Structure 1
Amino acid sequence: MPSPTAGHPMPLTIGLPDGRRLGLTRYGHPAHRAVVFHHGFGSSGLELPDDAALLARLQLQVLAPDRPGVGQSSVYRPLTFPSFADDVVAMLNALEIREPVGVMGWSVGGVHALALAAQHPARVAAAQLLSTCLPLGERAAYRHLSPLWKFLRWGQIGFPWLNRTTFLWLSRQWQLHPDRTIDWFIRLMFREEARVTSRFRALLRDAAVAGFAHHGRGVYDDAQAWCRPPGFRIEDVRCLVRLWHGQADGVWAPGNIPYLARRLGGAPVHLLPGQGHMLYLENWPAILEEMSGLLDEETEI
């Protein structure tokens, strides 16, 4: 493991109790309060802005683990939301982080953040859900899905071989032609998502290349886990929670975010006009400021 520094993002690899590897990226100084960031679907822990000065001022470090089959993390085919929550706790133990941490999740990473808070409440002080999704395989949440997301779940469950082939093909494109591939995705995006992705093009390109490592196996397993019963109850989340969502989100429309907030005990929602699914990139300083305040508040209780 590289020696700790306070500078730019540092890649780390730790051994898990069952012999697998877990790769992660550390942003900030290892002596500062820890925040765990769960990356989005088809991406990796490289998707965060590098703002060492802001982290130093807030005395935060952000740990962004790669889910199984992503980046340097070993493939783990029986991936579930609870199994990755256990991996994150093993990561915290290996890094000798004992105090409760902040947790963030972007997009489907928000469901992984909820799983960590629900499964290991003593390890989580506060959570932020950034453009989060619902668990597609939960019966209660399924009724709130749009027809498109119901169709996508049906396709993932009903035709797994087709999805596996698609992710394998996309993996090859990302590895062989990363610039051409991200430009292709930008052309397919809704306007607001395309605008932000163009602005952070290099960062998101590199994050996707790592996301589609291992022949796209991690993306496929993540999709399967997302579509199966989640294995935890949203109502078991007891920590402080804040939701951030864009009114112009073209990936996950904001209509069911109040429903999720109600299931989290009426958690406050930042509903941002004119912003889309990538809002975490343009609001990163404000998000970190809020997390710092939540951790301060939890410490005072």
Structure 2
Amino acid sequence: MSQILETRSGRPLEFQEYGDPDGHPILFFHGLIGSHLQAAYVADEAGHAGFRVIAPNRPGVGRSAFVERNSALEAVPDVEDLTASLGVDDFSVIGISGGTPYALACLLRLAPRIRTVTILSGMGPTRLPGALRGMERRRRLAVEIGSRYPNLARQEVRKWAERFKADPRGFLRYLVSTWCEPDRRLFEREDVFNLFLGDLEQVLVQGSGPETFAQDLALYRNYGFSPAELPSSHLVTLWHGLDDVIVPPAMGWKMATTLPRCEAHFVPGGHFVAISIADRIIAGLRKSRDESLAGRPGGVIS
């Protein structure tokens, strides 16, 4: 069951815990059309490896109240409130897709408390030169226009919400049809399909979908900081599917070459490749956690 935290500003913040309740904490930051449910992608493997996954819903998703923000850095106080309420001191972070700027904002502001950083199919700043190369033209235009004109983005998501409410499964089937073949095959699994239906429900029905979608698009254009500014004391591990058409591999490459310390893995698969390689991701995270105090050189790309 999800829980509600009242933040220092009095806003409700919804979160859910997965994995081992006594394990090393991981803060999991979900994607753009997503919710805390996406932590289930890696929850089983994380639990078996002794990790406690704490997944908050961003403002405007589910029961987390919407709040206007100009930078991903403005989300860090929510993380401070959440970890304080749970008695968590040091922790790791995972950002998947659109959760990337929020995970990296934690590293920038809370580095002494961060053990490891993992980015899955990460949406880096769209202003990085060449970062959107390989993205399907219609999707690229939607990202570029929506990030500049939030009213247009809100109008489009209101239409999505109407279509979803009229036919949830049909809406998702159409969405899946626009993805790469590995993702389409993955969503033939009923458990994966239903999990993402839950994400859409949290965003388009329960939450403030148009507002949070438009705001996140604007933040993806400009995080409020550059990945190059992140502390070189921490290794950032990236995992990216080579067939991804939602966040193209070019984005992962630009992130890998911009971050001060990075270990990047480009693997067969699409945007939701984390579901297929959760065991490798968690094994790598466990290794990084164990080595975090000793440190290791970055810049590894495979």
TM-score, normalised to structure 1, is 0.86
- State whether structure 2 residue 257 is matched by structure 1 residue 270: no
Whole-angstrom CA distance in 2 between matches of 1:268 and 1:53: 24
Structure 1 position 269, deviation (Å) = 1.2
Cα deviation, 1:99-147, whole Å, max 9, x if unaligned, reads: 2x111111121222112111221221111111112212x5xx1454338
Q: 1:51 to 1:153 in 2, by over 3 A?
A: closer
Q: Match of 1:40, SS?
A: coil
Cα deviation, 1:54-92, whole Å, max 9, x if unaligned, reads: 444321111111111001110112353111122122211
- State whether structure 2 residue 155 is matched by structure 1 residue 179: no
Whole-angstrom CA distance in 2 between matches of 1:248 and 1:78: 32
Q: Kindly indicate whether the alpha-carbon contact (under 8 Å) linking 1:167 and 1:215 is maintained by their aligned counterparts in 2.
A: no
Alignment of 1:103-142 (within 5 A): 103-136=93-126, 138=127, 141-142=128-129
Q: 1:37 to 1:158 in 2, by over 3 A?
A: closer
Q: Match of 1:134, SS?
A: coil
**2:132 alignment counterpart:** 145
Whole-angstrom CA distance in 2 between matches of 1:192 and 1:132: 17
Unaligned runs of 5+ in 1: 1-9
**1:287 alignment counterpart:** 281
Alignment partner of 2:229 out of 236, 242, 256: 236
Alignment of 1:189-208 (within 5 A): 189-199=179-189, 200-208=192-200
Whole-angstrom CA distance in 2 between matches of 1:53 and 1:184: 29
Whole-angstrom CA distance in 1 between matches of 2:143 and 2:179: 20
Whole-angstrom CA distance in 2 between matches of 1:290 and 1:186: 29
**2:299 alignment counterpart:** none
Cα deviation, 1:6-33, whole Å, max 9, x if unaligned, reads: xxxx412111100111111110233211
Q: Match of 1:42, SS?
A: coil
Whole-angstrom CA distance in 2 between matches of 1:292 and 1:194: 30
| Aligned Cα root-mean-square deviation (Å) | 2.3
**1:63 alignment counterpart:** 54
Cα deviation, 1:178-229, whole Å, max 9, x if unaligned, reads: 22221121222222222222321011111221122334132222223223x3
Q: Kindly indicate whether the alpha-carbon contact (under 8 Å) linking 2:33 and 2:213 is maintained by their aligned counterparts in 1.
A: yes
Letter in 1 for 2:197: R
TM-score, normalised to structure 2, is 0.86
Whole-angstrom CA distance in 2 between matches of 1:225 and 1:255: 19
Structure 1 position 158, deviation (Å) = 4.5
Whole-angstrom CA distance in 1 between matches of 2:162 and 2:175: 15
Whole-angstrom CA distance in 1 between matches of 2:169 and 2:99: 24
Aligned residues: 286
Q: 1:245 to 1:154 in 2, by over 3 A?
A: closer
Alignment partner of 1:96 out of 87, 92, 96: 87
Alignment partner of 1:259 out of 251, 254, 257: 254
Q: Match of 1:69, SS?
A: coil
**1:161 alignment counterpart:** 151
Q: 1:174 to 1:94 in 2, by over 3 A?
A: farther
Structure 1 position 266, deviation (Å) = 4.6
The percent of aligned pairs where both chains have the same amino acid is: 23
Whole-angstrom CA distance in 1 between matches of 2:141 and 2:50: 44
Runs of 4+ in 1 over 4 A off after TM superposition: 50-53, 147-150
